[in-house]
Structure 1
Amino acid sequence: MHTETLVADIRILLLPLPEFAMLPFGGFLDKLRFTADEADYSRQRHCTWQILGLEPGHVESSSGIAVQTQVTPAEIGYQDFDYLVIFGGRSAKVTQALAPHYKNMLRRAAGHGVTLVCIDNACFLLAACGLLAGHKVALHWRHETEFRAAFPRIEVMSDQMYCFDGNRISCAGGTAAIDLAVEMLTRACGRTRALKGLADMLVDEARSSAHQLRSLDNEVNTGRHVSRAIALMRTLLGSSKTADELASMVGISRRQLDRLFLASHAMTAKNYWNEVRLQHVQWRLLNSDHSLTTIADEAGISDVSYLSKIFRKRFGKPPAEFRKTISHHIVNP
């Protein structure tokens, strides 16, 4: 009896880094699963994938759930794959520090023509390995300022959920990994097959790369000028630009911009921008071990003593005490 052998349209290696986030990993993988088969049998027919690790065993996610490694670099031929998709770890700094361990593997894959895909802060690893030179990158908005400071020559595509740039693809992470998977599958398998299963995943539609997240702002109907100003505040977080310059970039007067912010957020544009900076400082104190000087630079505040003063006024404790208190609660819950 003749048995037809199907050649997969797209062949993918999945590389979860230590403390990777389950949300983008699971979303991306499940989208592959729905597209891979005619029905919902999870057979790897139209697309195939394997989970890659430096060595046999398990890789633990940030939530403590472990995923088993299926293959190691010594067991595969990179020429048999089209994409290597890397899922970033919980800490950008820790992810970047993995470069000496992963550099040879990633460079070997790229040398065999495999397209490298970085999701969430995995771009820190590729950049540290010298594999993003000359490429544009999209990443999670919380990591933009840190990435720009670490790799100033690499162009960051602000307000993009994912970015295709030749043989490099990047994605901000979260549920955007599903949208990225749809676009990758569309290019390999066609739009109809790429969209298969979205309803089962309770996803309304595949979002474009330029989709604007309303959840980045607490108010949905703030208007285009305020929305644009807030997006610029995040992009220009570490700059020395003033609220007057911000208003000019938005295309309205400072007085008009303040009036719009007062109406939508009950504070001036300058005060809102200060709040954005302080929220960034708080997040970095909780999620990194970087010095306050480094964090102050990221937030565009040159005077560390001034930062300590306004941080204490906003959060009730100076930065060092805040970080120590939070760390104590994490270690001794």
Structure 2
Amino acid sequence: MLPFGGFVDKLRFTADEEDYSRQHYCSWLILGDMPGCIISSSGVAVQVQVTLPEIQYADFDYLVVFGGRSAMATQGLAPRYRSILSAAVRQGVKLVSIDNACFLLAACGLLDGHKVAIHWRHEAEFRACYPRIETLANQIYCFDGDVISCSGGSSAIDLAVEILARACGRSKALKGLSDMLVDEARSSVHLLKSQNREMTAVPHLGHAIALMRTWMASNKTTTELSEMVGISRRQLDRLFVDFHHVTARQYWTEMKLQHAKWRLLNSSHSIATIADEIGIADTSYFGKLFSKRFGVPPATFRRNGLNE
């Protein structure tokens, strides 16, 4: 609901003078593949105004698709939406993928040859499903020809500003940000402070953690990591112990195992695939590592829906 609400509200402020909410400078409709309400994961119901089969795509510039909480469930909607989305593309409508909608568009074959901005939490999962599609987890949104993508969350507001600026001018696009209590529109390559707290205060540490996320599926060592950061392995370990009370290797292992844990609970991918996502080719070794950390084998953890 956050990206949906933020995106639509930004349209609302730009569409009219003051805060009257009339659709003068831009307009929109809430679409669905069937009439009624769509229930979000938070339980909030969104009313469908028009069903997709009734739409005349010539009347629209963009078709914005919002993904659900579960990437796999969103991807599973492809049989229902493939013909509808493909028809929009054939008629010159630009597709906008927000959050996990990239899984749906990829499953429909509509991201082939395109780059896609993706939420950092789902990058490894997306790469496992669609290894030939280039992902941009370090960007909050991306314009790539007739496909536009956004990683979700509040970045949907930034994407809306950029789309509106290109259509209505930057002055109208920026209108209402203060009403939304947003300081400024962020660029596509904005670096999240909340994700990289150490980057400013302790640059070497922040750089190392950012590389750990990027190299999640690699078999690179902490020695290679320290070389890339530009300090010795001993210095890197000292930084991690001072700030996180564990060595760099322990921190990286925990990051990978937490990712695997989340994937086991939120996807139907095989254990081997999930192990590969964190750079472990030996499933047996992954099982031992996981069991040591969480007390049960991965299969048991998934079957029982366990959580800490």
Local SS of the residue matching 1:153: coil
Q: Deviations over 1:216-251 (max 9, x none)?
A: 246575522222221221122112222222223334
Distance 1:236 1:252 in 2: 18
- Give the superposed CA RMSD: 1.9
Task: From 201, 212, 216, give the equivalent of 2:191.
Answer: 212
Distance 1:216 1:142 in 2: 11
The answer as to 2:174 corresponding to 1:195 is: yes
**Which residue does 2:159 correspond to in 1?**
180
CA contact (8 A) 1:36 1:47 kept: yes
Distance 2:201 2:71 in 1: 32
**Which residue does 2:216 correspond to in 1?**
237
**Which residue does 1:134 correspond to in 2?**
113
Distance 2:182 2:37 in 1: 30
Q: Which moved more, 1:308-317 or 1:298-307?
A: 308-317
The answer as to 2:271 corresponding to 1:292 is: yes
Distance 2:127 2:305 in 1: 27
The answer as to 2:240 corresponding to 1:261 is: yes
Distance 1:326 1:119 in 2: 28
Q: Residue type of the partner of 2:118?
A: L
CA contact (8 A) 1:160 1:211 kept: yes
**Which residue does 1:29 correspond to in 2?**
8
Q: Evaluate the alpha carbon distance shift between residue 222 and residue 242 of structure 1 in structure 2; reply closer, same or farther with a 3 A threshold.
A: farther
**Which residue does 2:63 correspond to in 1?**
84
Distance 1:228 1:177 in 2: 26
Distance 2:204 2:27 in 1: 45
Local SS of the residue matching 1:289: coil
Q: Deviations over 1:16-64 (max 9, x none)?
A: xxxxxx1110111111111111021110111100011112122111112
**TM-score, structure 2 as length reference:** 0.93
The answer as to 2:1 corresponding to 1:52 is: no
Local SS of the residue matching 1:85: strand
Distance 1:221 1:51 in 2: 41
Q: Residue type of the partner of 1:321?
A: T
CA contact (8 A) 2:198 2:206 kept: no
Q: Residue type of the partner of 2:8?
A: L
Task: From 131, 149, 161, give the equivalent of 1:170.
Answer: 149
**Which residue does 2:259 correspond to in 1?**
280
Distance 2:286 2:202 in 1: 31
CA contact (8 A) 1:159 1:231 kept: no
Identity of aligned residues (%): 66
Task: From 285, 294, 300, give the equivalent of 1:321.
Answer: 300
Local SS of the residue matching 1:200: coil
Task: From 35, 53, 61, give the equivalent of 1:74.
Answer: 53
Q: Residue type of the partner of 1:203?
A: V
Q: Deviations over 1:237-275 (max 9, x none)?
A: 112222222223334333333233233322222111101
**Which residue does 2:140 correspond to in 1?**
161
**Which residue does 2:95 correspond to in 1?**
116
Distance 2:242 2:55 in 1: 59
Local SS of the residue matching 1:214: coil
Q: Which moved more, 1:167-176 or 1:71-80?
A: 71-80
**TM-score, structure 1 as length reference:** 0.86
Q: Deviations over 1:139-166 (max 9, x none)?
A: 1001100111111111111311111111
- The unaligned stretches of length 5 or more in structure 2 are none
